[in-house]
Amino acid sequence: MSHTPEPDEDDLDAIAPPQPVFHVEQALLGALLLDPHRLDDVSGITADSFSTAAHAALYAAISTLPRPDPAEHAKNTTWLDRVLATALEEARGLTASHLHALVQVCPWPRHAPAYARMVEAEHARRRLLTAGERLVHTVHDVSPPLPVQTVLAEADALAGVVDGIANRFPPRSGVLPRTPTPPPAAPEHTEAVEEEQLLLATATARPDDIDAVRWLIPDDLTLPLHAGLWQCLTTLARRGEPVDPVTVLWEAQQRGLLDDGADPGEVLRMLAEPAGSVGHWAERALQRSLLATAEHTGRRIEAYACDPANTPFQLVVGARRALADIAAVGTRWQHATGATPPQQRRAAPAIRAGPPTTTAAHPSRSTRATR
């Protein structure tokens, strides 16, 4: 006989089961409801550390109401009634049976500090995920008048989040996230390619200006051919050899840059059409590189934080390595522009460390420069 689903049965099946931290939060709240004095052993969390509004409201009520007398608490529900009334002000729908259920699901009230540490670890992961998402969003936000400075400020704020997590979960050497690193986003080549061609042609026409943009490196350019040609130009200029489209083409051949089928005639024509200044086009290329690096960093951190198998220790190590890439490009940007990096206030250290846990190139955003 075929099964006829009840109304909304399919919708119920589609609801994802609660994450492990939901059950950890239940166990912690149950422990505190049963033995409120165990709140003295809990550190590193606040109401915001919980994953649901109901759990946050209950923890806020438990932590703010005066503790009951242990003997009286064992005999009546007066304090539990006060907790419920207080929590209802922030989370409608809570009932007395809900509180009693939390007490029932708590396996060992004396394990409250360990439960709190797990809640703190999960909250750290969510904070890092939010900060990574904010960095990626900032890269694609076209509204700031100074996009690079805005992105660097957001990256510094993300570093502050990482520092705050590290204060509570000091990283262990060699413990890297197991999560695969996402590949860099494919850049939109239309504007980048044209501007990089102008950079290469202008540098070929004015090789004496190349030394002034030593902060630009081949990896800043979007196409492998362009990166290789820039390396040819900087090498010839450093050697003091003649620089013109022909000598650059010959150097490119010696480096194997034409092996993938690049047309020598097209390369010559590209290098023979200078416009503007080397410094202007180099700065544009560096800006694109910085924004692309920031986006890739944000996506790396998102990937790490989305993997619940990563411990806070691993998240700190992985995030710091990712942020080092932005710092390297940001240093070169400062050399290029003389800009002072924006400073954000870093997260303050937590009150005290808890017990060891048992839980295991982007689209261009700036307007077209005037040639």
- Binned at pLDDT 50, 70 and 90, residue 361 comes out as very low
What single string gives the DSSP state of each residue in 98-155?
Answer: HHHHHHHH-S-GGGHHHHHHHHHHHHHHHHHHHHHHHHHHHHH----SSHHHHHHHHH
Tell me how crowded residue 272 is: count the other CB atoms within 10 A of its CB.
13
**Alpha carbon distance 78, 71 (integer Å):** 12
pLDDT of 176 = 83
pLDDT of 369 = 36
Indicate left, alpha or beta for 33 from its phi (over 0: left) and psi (-120 to 50: alpha): alpha
- Binned at pLDDT 50, 70 and 90, residue 181 comes out as confident
Average pLDDT over every residue of 158-171: 94
pLDDT surpasses 70 at 245: yes
Output the six-digit token pair for 211: 């030394």
pLDDT of 5 = 46
Question: Which of 45-54, 86-95, 337-346 has the least mean pLDDT?
Answer: 337-346
**Alpha carbon distance 365, 288 (integer Å):** 8
pLDDT of 165 = 96
**Alpha carbon distance 322, 196 (integer Å):** 26
Question: Which of 7-16, 84-93, 118-127 has the least mean pLDDT?
Answer: 7-16
pLDDT of 100 = 92
Q: Give the chain's radius of gyration (CA, Å).
A: 29
Q: Calculate the dihedral angle through the C-alpha atoms of 64, 69, 72, 77, rounding to the nearest 10 degrees.
A: 10
- Binned at pLDDT 50, 70 and 90, residue 184 comes out as confident
Question: Which of 58-72, 101-115, 126-140, 334-348 has the least mean pLDDT?
Answer: 334-348
What is the pTM assigned to this prediction?
A: 0.82
Contact partners, residue 350, CB within 8 Å, separation at least 6: 43, 44, 164, 167, 168
Start-to-end C-alpha separation, the chain: 75
pLDDT surpasses 80 at 360: no
pLDDT surpasses 90 at 171: no
pLDDT surpasses 90 at 232: yes
- Binned at pLDDT 50, 70 and 90, residue 341 comes out as low
Query: Mean pLDDT over all residues of the chain?
Result: 87
